[in-house]
Structure 1
């Protein structure tokens, strides 16, 4: 009989998101969608498709699971002078996907529930990487870059297209859009992801942001809402020195 392998460094705890009504959601991966609202694509200098037939493929990227923030406070990150907010619908997967590319019905059945997230972005680093044709990781995948609200089971949210996503900063409305303005809806995105990754229970998907992204500063207070169903509060704490 052999001994169990010994960890040579302490194991870190699994990141978890609270669920309304009790319990927690252990996070496996965080997938993100870029340019999923036409107005935001245009404000970023990209072309927006005129029809579903012209959509092409969605822009996909990842954040580390331990980038989530659930206590309502994110620290202004190092290496940037242009931290920006992007309010997003977050999709939480409650089942493993079967092998192969999903169909729409199977994709929707994977969804456990929904939340709100802030895709915090070091815009200056992202812009520099884009200008050189390099990956966006330094602009997107940093510590505390993914504040997340509690999750609400999908049945309590109902039809997404009728819902409105919004963000205020220090009481000023910055972003607002109905979710029927998605270029790629939830099943579309899960289908695209399933062609590239093995989707698992515990995955979160940040669905993209509407127009109105702008700078955040130390002390700013963000409040994201999905109608009167979900609220995300986040304060930007001063940078560590």
Structure 2
């Protein structure tokens, strides 16, 4: 299982939100590139980037920061937040980002999402953010009437390869993950990346044991509850 340390970008800073609430943010640093380099030095191979400003307003906001991270590290970078058009996708991929995450637009414009999945294949992932089992969009500010499980099945039917599934109620809380839910999602035959609530090595071990493709680790490594090195080691050992 792959461990993806997360960098959430808000107003140029590295932050973590509590349950996606922009009013409940904790700032961890002013230079995201420094964090990305440190993650690589500690053994990470992948990085999960989210442009929180972009997710909120619907356009790329931290593109210069993203370009710097790509240029100054060898990490496999996936980026989400504010990517709404094919031009956005092309710009991001041209900048060297390895995988583009479609969020709000995938739920609101299925035709576009299907076209992009068909055209760009594995370079497109879809972020499914769930609040009480329902899909949330627009930086988690709007909850739809679409069941998250149904949407994931729909994405599989569209040919989606990778889903980043976030349990909003768990995100940033340190309360752990719902292993049974990820076990169900893994039966879709897709690469499922678990996001939200990873708080212990037990969480990582359990996700690996149910053959989850990847796990995003954020607040736990920023707060010091976990070390990135321990996360990487545990994921590798549990995946054997």
State the TM bucket, normalised to the shorter chain: under 0.3
Greater RCO, CA 8 A, separation 6+? 1
TM-score (norm. length: structure 2) = 0.25
| TM-score normalised over the length of structure 1 | 0.25
Q: When you count helix as a share of all residues, which structure comes out higher?
A: 2
Structure (1 or 2) with the larger CA radius of gyration: 1
